[in-house]
Amino acid sequence: MKVFKFGGTSVGSAEGLRNIQRIIGDEAGRVVVVVSALGGITDLLIATSEAAARADAGYLEMYETICRRHRDAVAESVPAERQAPTLAETGVLLDELGNILRGVFLIQDLSPKTTNTIVSYGERLSSLIVSRIIDDAMLRDSRAFIKTEPYFNKHIVDFALTNELVRSTFADNARVSVVPGFISSDKTSGEATTLGRGGSDYTAAIIAAAAGAEVLNIYTDVDGFMTADPRVIGKAYLIESLTFLEAMELCNFGAKVIYPPTIFPAYNHNIPIYIKNTYRPECPGTYISRAKTAADGDVRKAIKGISSINDSCLLTIRGLGMVGVIGVNYRIFKALAKAGISVFLVSQASSENTTSIGVRRDDAEHAREVLSREFAQEIAMGEIDEIMLECDLATVAIVGENMRGCPGIAGKLFGTLGRNGINVVACAQGASETNISFVVKVESLRKALNVIHDSFFLSEYQVLNLFLTGIGLVGGSLIEQIRSQQAELLRTNALKINVVGISNSRRSIFDREGIDLSTYKERLESEGIPSTPQTVRDKIVEMNIFNSVFVDCTASPAVAEIYGDLLSHNVSVVTANKIAASSDYGHYAALKNTARTRGVKFLFETNVGAGLPIINTINDLRHSGDTILGLKAVLSGTLNYIFNVLAEDVPFSRAVAMAKEAGYAEPDPRIDLSGTDVVRKLVILARESGYRVEQDDVVKNLFVPDYIFEGSTDDFWNKVPALDAAFEEKRRALAAEGKKWRFVASLEGGACSVGLQEVEAGHPFYDLEGSNNIILITTARYNEYPLQIKGYGAGASVTAAGVFADIMSIANIQ
């Protein structure tokens, strides 16, 4: 005998029902087919009954939707000669359901008994329909042979009685038996009970175990277990084999492929389970058995999958009065068990003064109340603190039987999390070593899943192909940083950085095998071909190298114009050039959208603050659900340097020249002095913060008269000394008041402005040294105390390092 279970999505469409007919029709031996309610019907039944209990006449429309769904299923899938009697039989059940709902509406009462009866119609109707689309199928009522008994606030299966009834029921050797899943009955009263959401899987496992089936096939709408949730991890892939223990661990921690209690009956009777896709039956699926695959001593192969629960809460019982006291944990778990509260994680300090337990959000407040009552006396005496409850958490588990005895798993896991700034709130690992579980803030969940999957499941060797344009101060420094790190990255991170193209404003070289970075200048001069941004673009597209990144270390508008074409050809772009991100908003948005839709990256962290993590921080805040309310920032390392070195013996014109000599100023210092550079940076930050801002929208309160900017660069240098006397006079007056100048960029409610401001001692901007930048970010979360980022905001080496960091983020090297 083989047992098949088909989920709600499988029976919820005409295509799914036809596939069921074909799958079962291909089986030669005896089969039992267990079916769920049509997809969405159980939820609709519950909602309809609740509406009726509120005396909401709208329940009738919901009831009619239920009727229509089932009539349509009959019309679309049942053979023509069987449709009339099938419609008549479903009509009887639907009339019964309508009468019960009407009773609920009239008396405005919905007891658990009535709820169980109402939801049972979902499976009773679907099993009736499925039994009519399969030839020679016998419809059986699971309430007649799956018996339950009350246990705390739930019903559990009485296996001794159920196994006996299953064996006698299926002793007639019917070729195909169709059974409604999920529903059962109380062994004493005979009243309808349920096996819990997902209980149809459990029904199938119970029958398979009791009847001694050779295999349990569970058909759903996914191919099987994946290494992680594919909705979160795009690189997740199918796990073709699992042990029962591995499958149980993954299910318990959120992998909603099968209902967790399903596994034990199959494991206990050594019945293998196949997870298959009703809509892709040719896919191999996941095979679950007692056998495990060899790890070969490889940490990567030791991990089978990652699972998570994103509605976790953590209860912590803490107090010195717990130390050495026997029975504290007994009281904790006894009290929770009596209240029907399930605990999925336990973490206890070895000193015994702290025990943390993980519960679902729906149970959290009740659990705290239960434990507060249980330990009321100890709390009153100060032996135990108030029970702490922390919500908005997620629990993640990495699972694999081959982790047992494989050193380095935990170290690799927590090292990966730590390097990515993910704080672990609590963790637990059993002595079996098959599961390492940890709790993080829910806003860190997606990031945690991604970095873990990248760490444990990517291929052993990765190549990143770079095209670099601009080899001046920043570009030259970047090339040297890459050259010095290439061997180390290959050794420690299995990452080969392959520079396949280098160009300046005149010449370019390209080499698919990689360019020797110790001799690139000589090769550029001797072998370089004439270069324009367009020829560089065309050559990159022509080479069509996988996993390629274009890196722009220029300030050229023409180079920025080729980003869109490169992104559309699946080439990631990393740029220190501010022109694209601060250009017309429509162009900026189009670039980001192209990158997103093509699955590549458009990164420009160094556009603001050089190597400071300003843009990434803003994105992380927004992606986690925070709102950027305002910004106050000193964003020009050049201007900050100028106003810091300005002194009696260092006039304004000399300070500007010193900034140019130190490499802080733009190639044309007028870009800095006119505020243009700060305006661009502010526009970029405002856009990344979620505001639609153009450069013309920024209010500019400038400190240098317009005539200074007219003419050539030489004209500028000739004119600027004329400002020295006025600046010196103002500087002295400012110093006498104990104040300093800072050129401040502001974003408040979407309104942007830049201008010179006087700041006094004690202000966060006052002690800003050298060419440093600082930004204060006010958000919905960081409101009273803004988030502050401060550090070097100019200079070739730190800017190059920021570009390098963006490159590493593309390679998932954190």
Catalytic (active-site) positions: 681
The SS3 assignment for 482 reads: helix
User: Is the Cα torsion angle 346, 349, 352, 353 positive or negative in sign?
Assistant: negative
Of 736, 783, 781, 779, residue with least CA distance to 760: 736
Contact 637, 711 (CB under 8 A): no
Q: Is 199 exposed, middle or buried (0-12, 13-18, 19+ CB in 10 A)?
A: buried
Query: Could you give the C-alpha distances from 636 to 475, 540, 756, in angstroms and in order?
Result: 20, 33, 12
φ, ψ (nearest 5 deg) of residue 568: -70, -15
Q: Identify any residues that bridge with 788 across adjacent strands, giving them in sequence order.
A: 776
φ, ψ (nearest 5 deg) of residue 108: 50, 50
The SS3 assignment for 599 reads: coil
Distance in angstroms (rounded) separating the CA atoms of residues 452 and 457 = 8
φ, ψ (nearest 5 deg) of residue 569: -105, 25
Of 431, 386, 443, residue with least CA distance to 621: 443
CA neighbours closer than 13 Å in the CB half-sphere of residue 795:
14
* E strand spans, 557-687: 572-575, 602-603, 628-634
Distance in angstroms (rounded) separating the CA atoms of residues 367 and 383 = 20
**Tokens 């449709």 — which residue?**
83
Distance in angstroms (rounded) separating the CA atoms of residues 764 and 790 = 10
Of 42, 47, 31, 45, residue with least CA distance to 9: 42
Distance in angstroms (rounded) separating the CA atoms of residues 323 and 329 = 11
Distance in angstroms (rounded) separating the CA atoms of residues 447 and 439 = 13
Residue-wise DSSP of 708-753: GGSS-HHHHHHHGGGGHHHHHHHHHHHHHTTEEEEEEEEEETTEEE
Of 792, 807, 795, 797, residue with least CA distance to 477: 797
Sheet strands side by side (includes 176-180): 137-139, 176-180, 31-35, 2-6, 215-220, 273-277, 286-289, 241-243
Distance in angstroms (rounded) separating the CA atoms of residues 454 and 460 = 11
Q: How many residues does this entry show for the chain?
A: 814
CA neighbours closer than 13 Å in the CB half-sphere of residue 449:
26
- Report residue 97 as tokens: 């359901």
Q: Identify any residues that bridge with 101 across adjacent strands, giving them in sequence order.
A: none
Neighbours of 667 (CB within 10 A): 11
Of 202, 239, 231, residue with least CA distance to 123: 202
Encode 472-510: b = buried (16+ Cβ within 10 Å), e = exposed. ebbbbbbbebbeebbeebeeebebbbbbbbbbbeebbbb
Contact 783, 629 (CB under 8 A): yes
Q: How far apart are the first and last CA of the chain?
A: 52
CA neighbours closer than 13 Å in the CB half-sphere of residue 309:
24
